[in-house]
Amino acid sequence: DGGITQSPKYLFRKEGQNVTLSCEQNLNHDAMYWYRQDPGQGLRLIYYSQIVNDFQKGDIAEGYSVSREKKESFPLTVTSAQKNPTAFYLCASSIAVGLLFYEQFFGPGTRLTVL
Amino acid sequence: AQSVTQLDSHVSVSEGTPVLLRCNYSSSYSPSLFWYVQHPNKGLQLLLKYTSAATLVKGINGFEAEFKKSETSFHLTKPSAHMSDAAEYFCVVDDGGGYNKLIFGAGTRLAVHP
């Protein structure tokens, strides 16, 4: 089955630790995205990548880092510099054809809790 | 800059009655608009999208939305609510920057009562 997988589903971290969230897609999509969701709020964009080895900061990139070494994978690292990392993290991907992008497909999410 | 406002944070309906979730947008050009649904602790699923074709857009699970440029609205409707429709709904606009950046509304939580 084609889709987006995120692991783990739940993640607990102690303050001061870095943690990496996994996102893998087998949809052959060019573009991938990371969002953060807080209770009562819409999604906010952390980072996005249109092609391999290239990515751009979104609206709330401080305290996060990403890499895009393979088309299928777009891991997100939450660093100790992120002041309030407890949230629900969603990964998405979409087809890109030239300058045209199509709807984004979302993974099931990872809930990160900082203890 | 593009923005989207969902006018109700919570909507409660009885099963079998109509659903109306309201969304207004602000855009300096003709936008692409979407409605996504999120069930608890799940990812988002696309319900429908408007991309400058027909102004009445039909989606999955009996939902539809009408793009009204004069009112800058994109309200989501369904004639008859089902218990399984209980979820969070997000109205979304493309920010027009060419990188498929999406701008999300704050969400409307739909409750469906027997």
Predicted confidence at residue B42, as pLDDT, reads 84
Residues of chain A positioned with their CB less than 8 A from the CB of B94: 101
Given B99, B104, B106, which is nearest A48 (Cβ)? B99
Mean pLDDT of A3-18: 92
Q: What pLDDT, on a 0 to 100 scale, did the predictor assign at position B80?
A: 97
Q: Does B46 touch chain A (CB under 8 A)?
A: yes
**In chain A, where do the E strands start and end?**
4-7, 10-13, 19-25, 31-37, 43-51, 54-57, 64-66, 76-78, 87-94, 96-97, 100-101, 105-106, 110-114
* Distance, CA of B83 to CA of B16 (rounded, Å): 9
pLDDT in tens for each of the 114 residues of chain B? 788 999 999 999 999 999 999 999 998 777 889 999 999 888 899 999 998 778 899 999 999 999 999 999 999 999 999 999 999 999 999 877 666 788 999 999 999 999
Contact state of B43 with A4 under an 8 Å Cβ cutoff: yes
Chain B hits for A111, Cβ within 8 Å? 41
State the smallest CA–CA distance between residue B54 and chain A in angstroms: 17
DSSP notation for A30-44: SEEEEEEE-TTS-EE
How much is the pLDDT for A24? 97
pLDDT, residue B27, reads: 83
Mean pLDDT, rounded, for A108-112: 94
Cβ contact A44:A33 at 8 Å: no
Residues 19-58 of A with CB under 8 A from B: 31, 40-45, 48, 50, 56, 58
Closest CA to B67 of B33, B99, B18: B33
* pLDDT tens string A48-107: 998 899 999 999 999 999 999 999 999 999 998 888 999 999 999 998 766 666 789 999
Residue A2: the pLDDT is 67
The answer on pLDDT for A12 being more than 70 is: yes
